[in-house]
Amino acid sequence: MATESFEDSTSEAVTRGLRVHVRARFDPLRSDPGRGQWFFLYTVTLTNESAEQVQLLTRHWIIEDAHGRIEEVKGDGVVGETPILAPGESHEYTSGCPLTTEFGSMRGSYGMVTTGGEPFDAEIAEFVLALPHSVH
């Protein structure tokens, strides 16, 4: 694929057996550098490696641009869903993040709950949003 020539940034964290893998990439089709707009796509794969069923209820993103400006985004679910993952199951989704600088980073957490009703926060390790071949 032509889009595979763009460098991807990845991160991974495991909290209580929930693996959160993220792959981010620059989207030139939705970007307009002349207007100070850069758009990045990120694909998250959640894999339940624990022995208990879990459900994703909320998300909390911390987005930082190249000037150190931080934006926090909190909300219910991901892309309109609150997936339930049985042991061994995975859920994948893709979303996007606009920036007014050509690079930045994202990190955060998902608010999860076990079938027993025990809440926990699953870490989303920091990943870089950057143009291909840029210094970061």
Entry field: residues in the chain: 136
**pLDDT of 86:** 98
Task: Check pLDDT > 90 for residue 2.
Answer: no
Residue 124, both tokens: 């989303």
Task: Check pLDDT > 90 for residue 3.
Answer: no
pLDDT in tens, 113-124: 999 999 999 999
pTM: 0.91
**pLDDT of 134:** 60
CA–CA distance, 64 with 37 (Å, rounded to integer): 15
Task: Check pLDDT > 90 for residue 5.
Answer: no
Q: Which three-class secondary structure string do you get for 17-46?
A: CEEEEEEEEECHHHCEHHHCEEEEEEEEEE
In the block, which residue shows the tokens 């870089």? 128
pLDDT in tens, 49-80: 999 999 999 999 999 999 999 999 999 999 99
Domains of the chain: 2-130 (2.60.40.1470)
pLDDT in tens, 17-53: 999 999 999 999 999 999 999 999 999 999 999 999 9
**pLDDT of 117:** 96
